[in-house]
């Protein structure tokens, strides 16, 4: 069995996925609610979108799955789109706020 995947490796993969309307990655935007690596190196991600009516609601989870699957050692990836709690701007990191000139 492969060495246990490091959380930061998965986070780095998540940071390659961007909301097409916002020039900040989904991790810094606070759209990732949970990222769990199982002992079998399966990855489970709970994520949300900025709004339930987001035009990329169908494609964004697929992009997340594809990005995480590229990490060496990852077996299966499961991405769940969740709406509770609803996303709001308080979930954004300081990096995102700075990038969006909201500091």
State pLDDT tens for residues 62-74. Answer: 999 999 999 999 9
Asked whether residue 76 carries a pLDDT value surpassing 80, the answer given is: yes
Say what the pLDDT of residue 5 is.
Answer: 65
What does the pLDDT average to over 78-94? 94
98 to each of 8, 23, 25, 49, 67, how far by Cα in Å? 22, 11, 13, 20, 25
The whole model's pTM is what?
0.89
Say what the pLDDT of residue 20 is.
Answer: 83
Q: How confident is the model at residue 2 (pLDDT cuts 50, 70, 90)?
A: very low
d(CA 78, CA 28): 20
Q: How confident is the model at residue 58 (pLDDT cuts 50, 70, 90)?
A: confident
Say what the pLDDT of residue 91 is.
Answer: 95
Percentage of the chain exceeding pLDDT 90? 74
Q: Which domains does the chain show, CATH number per domain?
A: 7-99 (3.30.300.130)
């Amino acid at each position: 069995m492969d060495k246990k995947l490091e959380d930061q490796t998965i986070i780095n993969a998540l940071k390659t996925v961007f909301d097409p309307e916002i020039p900040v990655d989904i991790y810094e935007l606070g759209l990732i609610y949970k990222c769990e690596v199982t002992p079998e190196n399966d990855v489970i991600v709970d994520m949300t979108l900025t709004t339930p009516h987001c035009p990329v609601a169908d494609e964004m989870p697929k992009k997340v799955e594809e990005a995480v699957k590229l990490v060496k050692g990852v077996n299966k990836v499961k991405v769940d789109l969740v709406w509770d709690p609803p996303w709001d701007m308080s979930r954004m990191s300081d990096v995102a706020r700075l990038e969006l000139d909201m500091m």
